Amino acid sequence: MFHSMSKECVLNLICVLGIVCSYENVAIHKKAWMYNSYSYYSANRAVDGLKSDLSFSGGQCAASENGQTAKWGVDLGEILSVHHILIQYATRNRVWNESNYNTKDMLGFSVYLSNTTSRKNGILCFKDTHFTTATIPNPINISCPFHGRYVIYYNNRTHPPYPAGYSSYAYSDLCEVEVYGCPKPGYYGENCSKPCPNNCLEHLCDIVEGTCLNCVERYTGPMCSEGKRLFDQFTKKHMSGKLQQ
Protein backbone atom coordinates (compact mmCIF):
# COMPACT_ATOMS: atom_id res chain seq x y z
CA MET A 1 0.00 0.00 0.00
CA PHE A 2 2.95 2.29 0.61
CA HIS A 3 3.81 2.25 -3.10
CA SER A 4 0.95 4.58 -3.87
CA MET A 5 1.70 6.97 -0.99
CA SER A 6 4.18 9.83 -0.90
CA LYS A 7 7.09 9.70 1.52
CA GLU A 8 5.47 12.51 3.49
CA CYS A 9 2.24 10.52 3.86
CA VAL A 10 4.11 7.42 4.98
CA LEU A 11 6.06 9.42 7.58
CA ASN A 12 2.86 10.96 8.90
CA LEU A 13 1.16 7.59 9.06
CA ILE A 14 4.09 6.16 10.98
CA CYS A 15 3.95 9.09 13.41
CA VAL A 16 0.19 8.77 13.91
CA LEU A 17 0.54 5.06 14.58
CA GLY A 18 3.22 5.85 17.13
CA ILE A 19 5.63 3.30 15.70
CA VAL A 20 8.54 5.62 15.06
CA CYS A 21 8.33 9.33 15.47
CA SER A 22 11.22 11.02 17.08
CA TYR A 23 10.35 14.59 16.34
CA GLU A 24 9.84 16.33 19.68
CA ASN A 25 6.79 18.20 20.86
CA VAL A 26 8.38 21.66 20.79
CA ALA A 27 5.23 23.42 22.05
CA ILE A 28 4.94 21.77 25.45
CA HIS A 29 5.03 24.29 28.33
CA LYS A 30 5.76 27.15 25.93
CA LYS A 31 4.03 30.52 26.28
CA ALA A 32 0.49 30.38 24.87
CA TRP A 33 -2.25 32.95 24.51
CA MET A 34 -5.82 33.11 23.33
CA TYR A 35 -8.40 35.66 22.39
CA ASN A 36 -11.64 35.57 24.32
CA SER A 37 -10.59 33.12 27.00
CA TYR A 38 -13.47 31.69 29.06
CA SER A 39 -12.90 32.30 32.75
CA TYR A 40 -9.80 30.50 34.01
CA TYR A 41 -9.76 27.97 31.13
CA SER A 42 -6.56 29.60 29.96
CA ALA A 43 -4.51 29.13 26.80
CA ASN A 44 -1.63 27.37 28.53
CA ARG A 45 -3.86 24.36 29.24
CA ALA A 46 -3.45 23.44 25.56
CA VAL A 47 0.32 23.05 26.02
CA ASP A 48 0.43 21.51 29.50
CA GLY A 49 1.04 18.01 28.15
CA LEU A 50 -2.24 16.74 29.65
CA LYS A 51 -5.06 15.32 27.55
CA SER A 52 -6.42 12.37 29.52
CA ASP A 53 -9.52 14.33 30.60
CA LEU A 54 -11.23 16.11 27.69
CA SER A 55 -13.99 17.70 29.76
CA PHE A 56 -13.92 21.38 30.68
CA SER A 57 -13.97 20.65 34.39
CA GLY A 58 -10.93 18.40 34.11
CA GLY A 59 -8.51 21.33 34.10
CA GLN A 60 -6.61 20.12 31.02
CA CYS A 61 -8.36 22.12 28.28
CA ALA A 62 -8.38 25.74 27.18
CA ALA A 63 -11.82 27.18 26.42
CA SER A 64 -13.14 30.35 24.83
CA GLU A 65 -16.27 32.45 25.18
CA ASN A 66 -18.84 32.66 22.40
CA GLY A 67 -17.24 34.80 19.70
CA GLN A 68 -17.30 35.68 16.03
CA THR A 69 -13.59 34.83 15.91
CA ALA A 70 -11.47 32.42 17.92
CA LYS A 71 -7.70 32.64 18.12
CA TRP A 72 -5.17 30.65 20.09
CA GLY A 73 -1.41 30.71 19.67
CA VAL A 74 1.82 29.35 21.08
CA ASP A 75 5.27 30.90 20.92
CA LEU A 76 7.91 28.24 20.19
CA GLY A 77 10.56 30.69 21.41
CA GLU A 78 12.44 30.95 18.12
CA ILE A 79 11.99 30.00 14.48
CA LEU A 80 11.96 26.20 14.44
CA SER A 81 11.58 23.52 11.80
CA VAL A 82 8.18 21.88 12.20
CA HIS A 83 7.04 18.53 10.81
CA HIS A 84 3.42 18.12 11.91
CA ILE A 85 0.89 19.38 14.43
CA LEU A 86 -1.54 17.26 16.45
CA ILE A 87 -4.67 18.93 17.80
CA GLN A 88 -6.87 17.42 20.47
CA TYR A 89 -10.16 19.27 20.71
CA ALA A 90 -12.42 19.18 23.76
CA THR A 91 -15.01 16.39 23.70
CA ARG A 92 -16.60 16.61 27.18
CA ASN A 93 -15.35 13.02 27.45
CA ARG A 94 -18.09 11.89 25.08
CA VAL A 95 -17.92 9.97 21.82
CA TRP A 96 -16.70 12.24 19.01
CA ASN A 97 -19.47 12.07 16.40
CA GLU A 98 -22.21 14.24 14.97
CA SER A 99 -24.15 14.18 18.22
CA ASN A 100 -21.22 15.50 20.26
CA TYR A 101 -21.91 19.08 21.30
CA ASN A 102 -18.39 20.24 20.33
CA THR A 103 -17.93 18.88 16.81
CA LYS A 104 -19.80 21.79 15.20
CA ASP A 105 -17.51 24.27 16.97
CA MET A 106 -14.34 22.90 15.38
CA LEU A 107 -15.62 22.96 11.78
CA GLY A 108 -13.91 25.44 9.46
CA PHE A 109 -10.82 25.89 11.61
CA SER A 110 -7.38 26.75 10.28
CA VAL A 111 -3.83 26.41 11.53
CA TYR A 112 -1.00 28.77 10.65
CA LEU A 113 2.76 28.74 11.22
CA SER A 114 4.10 32.28 11.36
CA ASN A 115 7.23 34.23 12.24
CA THR A 116 5.07 36.83 14.00
CA THR A 117 2.01 36.67 16.22
CA SER A 118 -0.11 37.53 13.17
CA ARG A 119 -1.48 34.60 11.21
CA LYS A 120 -1.67 36.86 8.16
CA ASN A 121 2.14 36.84 7.94
CA GLY A 122 2.31 33.08 8.18
CA ILE A 123 1.96 29.88 6.21
CA LEU A 124 -1.48 28.29 6.16
CA CYS A 125 -0.80 24.70 7.21
CA PHE A 126 -4.42 23.65 6.99
CA LYS A 127 -7.94 25.00 6.58
CA ASP A 128 -11.00 22.83 6.97
CA THR A 129 -13.28 23.28 3.98
CA HIS A 130 -14.90 19.87 3.70
CA PHE A 131 -15.35 18.20 7.10
CA THR A 132 -18.77 17.73 8.65
CA THR A 133 -19.78 16.92 12.22
CA ALA A 134 -19.76 13.27 11.14
CA THR A 135 -16.30 13.29 9.55
CA ILE A 136 -14.03 15.73 11.38
CA PRO A 137 -11.24 13.79 13.12
CA ASN A 138 -10.29 14.41 16.74
CA PRO A 139 -7.42 14.33 17.41
CA ILE A 140 -6.39 15.61 14.00
CA ASN A 141 -2.90 15.33 12.54
CA ILE A 142 -1.85 18.22 10.33
CA SER A 143 1.21 18.08 8.12
CA CYS A 144 3.13 21.37 8.30
CA PRO A 145 6.75 20.81 7.19
CA PHE A 146 7.77 24.46 7.32
CA HIS A 147 9.60 26.93 9.55
CA GLY A 148 8.11 29.39 11.99
CA ARG A 149 7.96 30.63 15.57
CA TYR A 150 4.24 30.90 16.28
CA VAL A 151 1.57 28.25 15.73
CA ILE A 152 -1.88 29.82 15.54
CA TYR A 153 -5.28 28.11 15.67
CA TYR A 154 -8.00 30.24 14.12
CA ASN A 155 -11.68 29.99 13.42
CA ASN A 156 -14.42 32.46 12.60
CA ARG A 157 -18.13 32.85 12.07
CA THR A 158 -17.89 36.31 10.55
CA HIS A 159 -19.11 35.59 7.03
CA PRO A 160 -22.43 33.72 7.09
CA PRO A 161 -24.02 31.70 5.73
CA TYR A 162 -21.97 28.67 6.77
CA PRO A 163 -22.49 25.06 5.72
CA ALA A 164 -25.10 23.02 7.56
CA GLY A 165 -23.91 21.78 10.91
CA TYR A 166 -21.58 24.69 11.67
CA SER A 167 -21.89 26.35 15.10
CA SER A 168 -23.17 29.92 15.34
CA TYR A 169 -20.07 31.05 17.23
CA ALA A 170 -16.35 30.36 16.92
CA TYR A 171 -14.43 28.63 19.69
CA SER A 172 -10.92 27.51 20.53
CA ASP A 173 -11.70 24.77 23.03
CA LEU A 174 -8.34 23.07 22.76
CA CYS A 175 -7.24 20.36 25.15
CA GLU A 176 -3.78 19.98 23.60
CA VAL A 177 -1.83 21.30 20.64
CA GLU A 178 1.34 19.31 20.01
CA VAL A 179 3.83 20.74 17.56
CA TYR A 180 6.31 18.13 16.41
CA GLY A 181 9.60 19.33 15.00
CA CYS A 182 13.25 19.89 15.83
CA PRO A 183 13.97 21.65 19.12
CA LYS A 184 17.08 23.37 17.75
CA PRO A 185 17.20 25.35 14.50
CA GLY A 186 19.63 24.21 11.80
CA TYR A 187 19.03 20.46 12.07
CA TYR A 188 16.90 17.90 10.22
CA GLY A 189 16.11 14.18 10.09
CA GLU A 190 13.94 12.01 12.30
CA ASN A 191 16.33 12.41 15.21
CA CYS A 192 17.00 16.08 14.42
CA SER A 193 20.66 15.12 14.53
CA LYS A 194 21.76 16.00 11.00
CA PRO A 195 23.02 19.56 10.53
CA CYS A 196 21.53 21.48 7.61
CA PRO A 197 24.07 21.94 4.77
CA ASN A 198 26.60 24.70 5.41
CA ASN A 199 25.44 26.93 2.60
CA CYS A 200 21.74 26.99 3.47
CA LEU A 201 20.66 30.58 4.01
CA GLU A 202 20.20 31.13 7.76
CA HIS A 203 20.88 27.38 8.16
CA LEU A 204 17.25 26.60 7.32
CA CYS A 205 16.52 23.32 5.55
CA ASP A 206 13.68 20.86 4.91
CA ILE A 207 13.06 18.79 8.04
CA VAL A 208 12.82 15.51 6.12
CA GLU A 209 15.15 15.84 3.12
CA GLY A 210 17.66 18.42 4.38
CA THR A 211 17.35 20.48 1.23
CA CYS A 212 18.00 24.19 1.73
CA LEU A 213 15.13 26.66 1.62
CA ASN A 214 17.49 29.22 0.07
CA CYS A 215 21.24 29.43 -0.50
CA VAL A 216 23.84 31.89 0.68
CA GLU A 217 25.23 34.09 -2.05
CA ARG A 218 26.93 32.39 -5.04
CA TYR A 219 25.73 28.88 -4.16
CA THR A 220 22.97 26.86 -5.78
CA GLY A 221 21.43 23.37 -5.96
CA PRO A 222 19.18 21.57 -3.50
CA MET A 223 21.95 21.36 -0.92
CA CYS A 224 23.51 24.68 -2.02
CA SER A 225 26.70 22.80 -2.79
CA GLU A 226 27.05 23.60 -6.49
CA GLY A 227 27.52 27.32 -6.60
CA LYS A 228 31.25 27.48 -5.89
CA ARG A 229 32.00 25.05 -8.71
CA LEU A 230 29.86 27.01 -11.16
CA PHE A 231 31.52 30.17 -10.00
CA ASP A 232 34.96 28.61 -10.56
CA GLN A 233 33.94 27.43 -14.05
CA PHE A 234 32.67 30.88 -14.87
CA THR A 235 35.88 32.43 -13.59
CA LYS A 236 38.04 29.92 -15.54
CA LYS A 237 36.08 30.50 -18.75
CA HIS A 238 36.21 34.22 -18.27
CA MET A 239 39.95 34.14 -17.59
CA SER A 240 40.65 31.83 -20.57
CA GLY A 241 38.70 34.21 -22.83
CA LYS A 242 40.83 37.04 -21.57
CA LEU A 243 44.03 35.04 -22.28
CA GLN A 244 42.92 34.31 -25.85
CA GLN A 245 42.36 37.97 -26.60
Q: Which is nearer to Ca ion, 178 or 200 (CB)?
A: 178
- Contact between 25 and Ca ion by CB under 5 A: the answer reads no
Task: Of 172, 176, 114, 168, give the one whose Cα is nearest residue 144.
Answer: 114
Q: Which is nearer to Ca ion, 63 or 215 (CB)?
A: 63
- Contact between 28 and Ca ion by CB under 5 A: the answer reads no
Q: Supply the DSSP string of 146-208, one letter for each residue.
A: SEEEEEEEEEE--S----TT--SSB---EEEEEEEE-SSTTEESTTS-EEPPTTBGGG-B-TT
Cross-strand pairs, 16:
none
Q: Which stretch binds Ca ion (CB under 5 A): 49-57, 76-84, 143-151, 217-225?
A: 49-57
Least Å distance between CB 19 and Ca ion? 24
Going through the chain in order, the beta strands assigned E by DSSP cover 24-25, 31-34, 69-89, 110-114, 123-127, 140-143, 147-156, 174-181, 187-188, 194-195
Which amino acid, 81? S
Q: Which is nearer to Ca ion, 100 or 176 (CB)?
A: 176
Site string for Ca ion, 183-212 (x = CB under 5 A): ------------------------------
Least Å distance between CB 230 and Ca ion? 51
Q: Name the residue with the smallest CB distance to Ca ion.
A: 60
Q: Which is nearer to Ca ion, 142 or 178 (CB)?
A: 178
Query: Which residues are at the interface with Ca ion (CB under 5 A)?
Result: 45, 48, 50, 60, 175-176
